[in-house]
Amino acid sequence: MSKWGYASDMINLNDLDEKEIYALAQVTLIANGKVLEVLEKLADNLKTQLVRADDMVRIHRLQGRVEQLEALGTAIRKAVKLQAS
């Protein structure tokens, strides 16, 4: 069983200690959740570029960027849930 229950994520919360998870959760409090909105907006913009991309290298890079932004947003949301419990 994983420490926090999120072992399959790109950003594995099991690799973080409690202070690091707390810091990650604080990101949403500092900016009243705007950070998550910015991450989602950036990911949506990249997805639009991805649909129009015709070069396989560019497609691969855009996919990686989208995945990273979404993983960061997911990790922040899960860190907030852990702090609330």
Q: What mean pLDDT comes out for the span 17-23?
A: 89
- DSSP label at 17? -
Is the Cβ–Cβ distance between 76 and 23 less than 8 Å? no
Q: Give the tens place of pLDDT for each residue, 29-81.
A: 777 778 889 999 999 999 999 999 999 999 999 999 999 999 899 888 888 88
Q: Provide the domain count of the chain.
A: 1
0.85 exceeded by pTM: no
Structure tokens at 27: 């990101």
Q: Judge whether 1 lies within some domain.
A: no
Q: Please indicate, yes or no, if residue 37 is contained in any of the structural domains.
A: yes
Residue 79 lies in a domain: yes
